Amino acid sequence: MAPLHSYKYTYFLVSSPSPYIAHVEINRPTKLNAFSQPVWLEFGAVFRQLSSDADVRAVVLSGAGDRAFTAGLDLMAASQDGVLNSEEKDVARKAKALRGHISEFQECISWMEWCEKRELSSAF
């Protein structure tokens, strides 16, 4: 697999196993590829970049390691997140901050859906 040189991310490895195909690998196997805020922000960035890349026609998404594709949300990181542990006493302000946090997460994850490529359902 050839690396795609313009794709440099901390939590994702992006390579090209065949012409016009991008392989995106969630690269956080010690945490079962769980999503913390930095991971989901990068996830959105990866798929935004793929969407506009004329050299990519299809995307394969996988998780590193042999234990899990992804465990979903990193509960340990979420429990330590400032938004969830806010000392804010005003319920409305706390709810507004939480809603913004959830919206940010959803938008980043939705970039996979909005990506103008088609995911391949089988291994290459």
HSE, side-chain direction, 13 A CA sphere, residue 4: 26
Q: Indicate the angle between helix axes 91-114 and 37-51, nearest 10 degrees.
A: 40
Q: Is the pTM of this model over 0.85?
A: no
The pLDDT tens digits for 9-40 are 999 999 999 999 999 999 999 999 999 999 99
C-beta separation of 120 from 58 below 8 A: yes
State CA 73 to chain mean position distance.
11
CATH topology (fold) of 2-119: 2-enoyl-CoA Hydratase; Chain A, domain 1 (3.90.226)
Read off the pLDDT of residues 47-77 as tens digits, 9 standing for 90 and up. Answer: 999 999 999 999 999 999 999 899 998 988 8
Determine the pLDDT at residue 73.
87
How far lies 50's CA from each of 54, 91, 109, in Å?
A: 8, 39, 14
C-alpha pair distances (Å), 30 with each of 8, 14, 71? 20, 19, 11
